[in-house]
Amino acid sequence: MPQPHVVAAPAFLSDMQIATWNINGIKARLPVLLEWLKEANPDICCLQEIKSVNEGFPTQILEDAGYNVAVHGQKAFNGVAILSKRPFDEVSYGLPGDDSDEQSRYLEAVVQLDDTIIRVASIYLPNGNPVDSPKYSYKLAWMDRLIAHAKQLLKLEEPLVLAGDYNVIPQSQDAKRPELWVNDALALPQSRARFRSLLNLGLTDALRAVNTDAGIYTFWDYQAGAWKRDNGIRIDHALLSPQAVDRLEECRIDKHVRGWTKPSDHVPLVVTVSEADNA
């Protein structure tokens, strides 16, 4: 059994940047991912839709870029990963609650900081369309499992960041053209109610904690000139436990990355938390 490679922790960090990004295929996106990691230099980066088996993931290349790598992949579709400059204390694969679920959409890891730990999950919540198919009931059931698991995690009273592609447009202000989404799995009342249930457990939408403006998006479709028209939706979110919110410094969306060559249709969202408690 080969020893897993461990990248040494940085000697000093005044704050932590935790990013999430649906990259829509690691094979097609590796150059853009490496470019953005170099530019933004996040401490932790949650990835979704890697569309790769574990063996096909460019672990060595990302380790050479300074990251420890945890991967939960599958063939062709879905797949999540977490990159971390600091070593992983624990990694758990898959969302609890249904042993028959074979889709790789959830990965959770714990990282040691100077004065505490931080628990991070990379989430690729099911799309759910079309809504008259089993895909929508799978989405709602998956969200119910996420609510149940989040409830357990919150009992730990740790700094917790549940970050990823939630495939939920929380409110009409989170879409450029909300009327196009009223009958869509991303915006239907049952989807939105479950997203609100997560918040009602005591989780905070990090972006909304720092900015309540309309017109903030994380996804622009490849089709119909959506990017050119700024026809976007906000579906990538970081939900924080109270202990993480106490350390929240900033939350930003790296919108400019959507304009790069061969981009993902999603852009990175970055949460900055301090190493010291601000409360």
CA distances from 196 to 95, 171, 192, 272 (A): 19, 10, 6, 23
Report in angstroms how near the CB of residue 23 gets to DNA at its nearest: 9
DSSP state, 102?
Answer: -
In angstroms, the CA 149 to CA 152 distance is 5
**Contact between 24 and DNA (CB under 7 A)?**
yes
Report in angstroms how near the CB of residue 67 gets to DNA at its nearest: 19
In angstroms, the CA 214 to CA 139 distance is 26
In angstroms, the CA 157 to CA 118 distance is 11
254-277: buried (b, 16+ CB within 10 Å) or exposed (e) per residue?
Answer: bbebbeeeebbbbbbbbbbbeeee
Among 34, 35, 65, 77, binds DNA (CB under 7 A): 77
Among 58, 126, 170, 268, binds DNA (CB under 7 A): 126
Other residues' Cβ atoms within 10 Å of the Cβ of residue 102: 9
Report in angstroms how near the CB of residue 267 gets to DNA at its nearest: 12
Specify the residue, 73 or 159, whose C-beta has the smaller distance to DNA. 73
Report in angstroms how near the CB of residue 243 gets to DNA at its nearest: 30
Contacts with DNA: how many residues (CB under 7 A)?
32
**Contact between 134 and DNA (CB under 7 A)?**
no
Write out the two tokens for 225.
């000139």
In angstroms, the CA 221 to CA 32 distance is 18
**Contact between 84 and DNA (CB under 7 A)?**
no
Q: From 22-30, 147-155, 196-204, 205-213, give the range in contact with DNA by CB under 7 A.
A: 22-30
Residues that bind DNA (CB under 7 A): 22, 24-29, 49, 51-53, 56, 75-77, 126-127, 129, 135, 165, 167, 186, 219, 221-225, 233, 235, 262, 265
